[in-house]
């Protein structure tokens, strides 16, 4: 597919097979970045009025359409998902009880582990493996109740395993006041996601760095009505609509803007809107992109002959593509060595410990899979 001529499509570009890690930016993002600069230069102080009245509403509508949310106004934006984790924690009581997994991404895992060191949180972790029983085991743990926060990924970064029955887990939580948070960073724009049935009960946070192809800084959170009406961690963006009011304490809107923080580089939202517009023009839906990647994965795996490569399909952590996100994860002690050796051949993959991760995109074709498979032959 055309559209990446200045990144992976340029002469001499490496074979990039890490779309799950750092996704190449489509060409349309360059003009969007320049437009953000022009608007700032032209509008000066009035830039923020333009951002809040045009740029942000457009991005909210794109996300609401992708997730089938009933109301785009439930969405707030921030520079990273860690800022939302802090804001969510600021809504909870002292020493909150947290139910999560042993496979969450660093933005959550590191922060919770640090708070746990000082006895500021109580954490119960459920192992994701064995994957076949995860949803039942996590739902059973959630059903015990007593939690202030239930936090889990839609697709796990260290395996590619995807939760396909999130409703079972959400419905299992007995406490109506318990915060339920779905980390969709590896799910949003990677696999078709209909969050409409959970929108009034669960938070959903994700970003544009990966499959949304918008780069860093375009993170968002969907906020279910009534949950966390007044976060203690709050910035001036959360009160943007009431900057000229006085008295009456700290005010919050009832929509998702209550979870806004403070100033961040909004050029990321310009890029996000440009990519979404481009995909719409190309009539490229999430299911279409996923279908293309599944075809590429199938060809690639067929090229890997057992016993003749450094990796083969038997090492896949999630063999059933219906339970897998949009990347392949192989378990091998040689993951780091393989990643380094491929890099020396101008082929980019990545690894996390003994997990070798390979992710394809809409810019790949059969020739790319053959080149990668040949490089993996011993």
Report strand pairing: 97-101 vs 122-126: parallel
Residue 306's pLDDT is 73
234 confidence band (pLDDT: 50, 70, 90): very high
Region at 236 (left for phi over 0; alpha for psi -120 to 50; beta for the rest): alpha
Give the separation between CA 237 and CA 233, rounded to whole angstroms: 12
- 5 belongs to a structural domain: no
Which of 58-62, 89-93, 113-117, 307-311 bottoms out in mean pLDDT, i.e. has the lowest?
307-311
Could you tell me if residue 7 is inside a domain?
A: no
Return the closest-CA partner of residue 222 out of 247, 195, 249, 241.
195
Looking at the domain assignment, is residue 108 inside a domain? yes
324 and 275 belong to one structural domain: no
For the segment 292-305, what is each residue's pLDDT rounded down to a tens digit?
999 999 999 999 87
> What is the rounded average pLDDT of the residues 15-30?
95
Domain boundary pick from 214, 244, 279: 279
What CATH code is carried by the domain that includes residue 331? Answer: 3.90.1150.10
Q: What is the pTM of this model?
A: 0.95
- Residues with Cβ within 8 Å of 237's Cβ and at least 6 positions away in sequence, in order, are 257, 260, 261, 262, 263
Give percent of the chain above pLDDT 70: 97
Per-residue model confidence (pLDDT) at position 230:
95
CATH assignment at residue 270: 3.40.640.10
Q: What is the pLDDT of residue 240?
A: 75
- Phi/psi at 265 (5° precision): -75, 105
Residue 93: the pLDDT is: 97
Same domain, yes or no, for 146 and 292? no
Looking at the fold, whether 60 and 93 belong to one and the same domain comes out as yes
Q: How many domains does the chain have?
A: 2
User: Within this chain, do residues 121 and 256 fall inside the same structural domain, yes or no?
Assistant: yes
pLDDT tens, position by position, 266-293: 999 999 999 999 999 999 999 999 999 9
User: For residue 160, is it within any domain?
Assistant: yes
- Whether the pLDDT of residue 244 is over 60: the answer is no
Tell me if 215 sits within 8 A of 208, measured CB to CB. Answer: yes
> Does residue 309 have a pLDDT over 80?
no
**Residue 10 within any structural domain of the chain:** no
pLDDT computed for residue 109 by the predictor: 97
In a domain, 131, yes or no: yes
Same-domain status, 238 and 311:
no
Task: Look at residue 165 and tell me if it is in a domain.
Answer: yes
* 308 against 352, higher pLDDT: 352
Mean pLDDT for 183-202 is: 98
User: Is 90 exceeded by the pLDDT of residue 351?
Assistant: yes
Same domain, 227 and 302: no
Whether residue 298 is found in the same domain as residue 236: no
Same domain, 215 and 348: no
Tell me which of 279, 312, 331 is where a domain ends: 279
Average pLDDT over residues 231-253: 78
Both 205 and 64 in a single domain? yes
Mean pLDDT on 64-69: 98
Q: Is the separation of the CB atoms in 121 and 85 below 8 Å?
A: no
- Give yes or no for a contact between 89 and 64, defined as CB atoms under 8 angstroms apart: no
Q: Provide the residue range defining the domain that includes 365.
A: 15-26+284-376
Spatial distance between the Cα atoms of 73 and 71, rounded to a whole number of angstroms: 5
366/334 same-domain check: yes
Domain stops at, among 279, 311, 335: 279
DSSP category for residue 150 = E
Verify that 72 and 199 share a domain, yes or no.
Answer: yes
User: Is residue 22 a part of any domain in this protein?
Assistant: yes
pLDDT(246) > 60? no
How far is residue 269's CA from residue 255's CA, in Å, rounded to a whole number? Answer: 19
Residue 235 vs residues 60, 84, 178, 227: alpha-carbon distances, Å: 19, 12, 24, 18
Co-location of 310 and 270 in the same domain = no
**131 Cβ neighbours under 8 A, 6+ residues apart:** 159, 161, 317, 318, 323
User: Helix or strand or coil: residue 276?
Assistant: helix
């Amino acid at each position: 597919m055309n559209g990446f001529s200045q990144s992976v499509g340029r002469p001499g570009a490496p074979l990039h097979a890490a779309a799950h890690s750092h996704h190449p930016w489509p060409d349309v993002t360059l003009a969007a970045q320049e437009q953000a600069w022009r608007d700032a230069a032209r509008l000066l102080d009035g830039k923020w009025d333009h951002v809040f009245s045009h740029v942000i509403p457009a991005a909210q509508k794109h996300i609401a359409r992708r997730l089938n949310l009933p109301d785009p106004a439930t969405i707030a934006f921030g520079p990273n998902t860690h800022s939302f984790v802090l804001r969510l924690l600021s809504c909870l009581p002292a020493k909150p009880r947290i139910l999560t997994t042993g496979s969450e991404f660093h933005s959550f895992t590191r922060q919770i582990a640090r708070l746990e060191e000082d006895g500021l949180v109580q954490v119960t972790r459920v192992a994701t493996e064995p994957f076949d029983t995860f949803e039942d085991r996590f739902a059973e743990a959630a059903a015990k109740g007593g939690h202030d926060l239930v936090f889990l990924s839609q697709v796990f970064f260290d395996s590619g395993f995807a939760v396909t029955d999130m409703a079972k887990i959400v419905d299992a939580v007995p406490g109506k006041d318990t915060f339920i948070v779905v980390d969709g960073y590896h799910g949003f724009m990677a696999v078709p996601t209909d969050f409409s049935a959970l929108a009034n009960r669960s938070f959903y946070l994700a970003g544009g760095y990966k499959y949304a192809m918008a780069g860093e800084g375009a993170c968002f959170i969907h906020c279910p009505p009534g949950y966390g009406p007044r976060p203690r961690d709050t910035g001036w963006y959360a009160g943007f609509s009431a900057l000229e009011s006085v008295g009456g304490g700290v005010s919050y809107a009832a929509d998702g803007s209550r979870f806004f923080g403070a100033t961040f580089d909004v050029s990321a939202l310009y890029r996000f809107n440009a990519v979404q517009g481009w995909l719409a023009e190309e009539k490229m839906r999430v299911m279409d992109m996923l279908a293309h990647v599944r075809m590429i994965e199938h060809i690639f795996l067929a090229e890997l002959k057992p016993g003749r490569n450094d990796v083969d399909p038997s090492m896949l952590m999630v063999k059933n593509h219906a339970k897998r996100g949009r990347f392949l994860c192989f378990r091998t002690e040689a993951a780091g060595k393989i990643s380094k050796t491929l890099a020396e051949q101008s082929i980019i993959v990545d690894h996390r410990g003994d997990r070798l991760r390979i992710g394809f995109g809409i810019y790949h074709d059969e020739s790319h899979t053959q080149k990668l498979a040949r490089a993996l032959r011993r």
